[in-house]
Structure 1
């Protein structure tokens, strides 16, 4: 059985087929081009540098291509890296289906959709319910297939819906513990908060940011869609209920320096921000812990201030995310 990326140990020779998730042209100190690459399979992704890249190499080794790679597993500044020795595109008869190299959410689409719909039924405020249903239908296919990010948390096919569902489960626990929390508002905000990523990103394979994603961002993009939905559904977009729902999305990053145009000023908006942070952080830590051996530290997690995390020796499980 072919080894996956994270089956290879430190200093072990790497020999296998992998997907080019990213391949960016950069200039080295000597003035020559090189490719900064992220290799991917269903176990995760590891970076590597292809030095002295020719114009033909740049043309051939594009994101979304499957390659045969020979090299060595190394560490660089606390993070795993592949030292590339040989690399070529696949040939006829060799693996070429990119889907077999893409990591997927631990639940299938049907299961996620069924559970999410149960939360929609509990959104009893008419305007919120109509807006949520309208936008879920409009972005359905992308919402259930896109990742929640290009890198970092839930960066796998179906990650956007899975991240949303995880927050909804957390929201249910919070609302059960604190009955005064507006449950329908919290659920509606949770479902919509990252839906703009279906416009911000290109898709689940070799994900990139679209022009709208780079110039506008998912928070503003989905706020625009809420206003459009109101126009189509004949809902007053200046009604208090709509403004509060828009505030949930606009404030969910918590701080303006993190991309929110406004800080949370409704209790449920603050709760959504905290739950979003919690779920993203746990998923990033768990992914890194899964790749570490007991008694060792994980790779450094850039999105968590470059910290790494220790996996105790008594932890004899991989701590995998739940399967479907």
Structure 2
């Protein structure tokens, strides 16, 4: 297929008769039979401006093997009017390997560079040398950092958009910093490290295409287990006491039921649980309303 035009094509601007060579998100895919008994594909294509139905009549089964529902797809075709509605008659369709999901998925309103700066500031507030080395092992990793910046916090709940994980983490870390000033007996290095890393596993939890999906590790293990594995892999220089204390905070940040004794083992774990819930529930109420 030819490359996409430099001029962006959006669904909202399509008109009958337009020739289209563009990338859209495929949100529906069905194999149907025509009255003549031949298969065709019935699709729904989306971008941020709207949705349009599409049909593939020629070599439908061959075309169907080139993409799945939920993929970003590059299409070639013509806009037709059918029963007073616009529809795309496609000549070609295939999964797009280099389209940016950020063009099709919701993204954070807040500036991600600014949030990255806040994250660096929070990490610099950790003065314990061992915890500091652990945070550096994460934040100095360009691959992890890019994935952390892109990830949402949830698929349908609070911060359910690209950049949501970074926004939520900065919020929880800021609350943790304030809590330690109000309660000096808290171990601020432990709590702040846990606040920064408590959702680290979410960098491996999601997939990105027409929608935010779950990866196989995310579906089978969940972000808490994935996060603990990431911490274990990077904490070889951390002593047993620090590693256990941090792991307990991460393990119980959704509540004490995940702990073997079904109770919090430290005030820092309790604080992280409450601060995480505070940001998540307030953000959820602001985005979706009160239950």
Structure 2 equivalent of residue 185 of structure 1: 190
Give the distance between the partners of 1:170 and 1:91, measured in 2 at CA.
54
Select which of 28, 53, 63 maps to 2:70.
63
2:149 paired with 1:148? no
After TM superposition, list the pairs within 5 Å mapping 1:77-226 onto structure 2.
99-138=102-141, 139-203=144-208, 206-226=211-231
1:241 aligns with 2:248: no
Structure 2: distance between partners of 1:226 and 1:214: 19
Given that residues 70 and 209 in structure 2 are in contact (C-alpha distance below 8 angstroms), is that contact kept between their aligned partners in structure 1? no
Residue in structure 1 matched with residue 81 of structure 2 by the alignment: none
Residue 208 of structure 1 aligns to a residue whose secondary structure is strand
Offset of residue 89 of structure 1: 8.3
Three-state SS of the structure 2 residue aligned to 1:157 is coil
- Deviation, 1:21, is 8.1
Find the aligned partners of 1:204 and 1:263 in 2 and give their Cα distance: 39
State the alpha-carbon separation in 2 of the partners of residues 39 and 147 from structure 1.
20
- Cα deviation, residue 98, structure 1: 5.1
Give the 3-state SS of the residue equivalent to 2:265 in structure 1.
coil
| TM-score in terms of structure 1 length | 0.61
Measured after TM superposition, the shift of residue 176 of structure 1 is 2.2
**SS across alignment from 1:202:** strand
Distance 1:133 1:163, change over 3 A: same
Q: Structure 2 unaligned runs (5+)?
A: 1-9, 13-22, 31-41, 52-59, 76-84, 93-98
Cα distance in 2 for residues equivalent to 1:87 and 1:275 = 48
* Cα distance, 1:151–1:20 mapped onto 2, change above 3 Å: farther
Asked if 1 retains the 8 angstrom alpha-carbon contact of 2:26 and 2:45, the reply is yes
- TM score, norm. by length of structure 2: 0.67
Match of 1:15 in 2: none
- The structure with more radius of gyration: 2
> Pairwise mapping of residues 263-282 of structure 1 onto structure 2 (< 5 A)?
263-282=263-282
Alpha carbons of structure 1 residues 154 and 235: separation in structure 2 relative to 1, 3 Å: same
Measured in 1, the distance between the counterparts of 2:45 and 2:175 equals 32
8 Å Cα contact 1:127/1:242 also seen in 2 = no
- Structure 2 match to 1:32: none
Q: Would the aligned equivalents of 2:72 and 2:210 in 1 still touch at CA under 8 Å?
A: no
Is the contact between residue 112 and residue 162 of structure 1 (CA under 8 Å) also seen in structure 2?
yes
Aligned length, in residue pairs: 242
- Write the distance in 1 (CA, Å) between the matches of 2:224 and 2:45: 27
For 2:123 and 2:197, the matched residues in 1 are separated by: 11
Distance 1:255 1:111, change over 3 A: same
In 2 relative to 1, CA 60–242 (structure 1 residues): closer, same or farther, beyond 3 Å?
Answer: closer
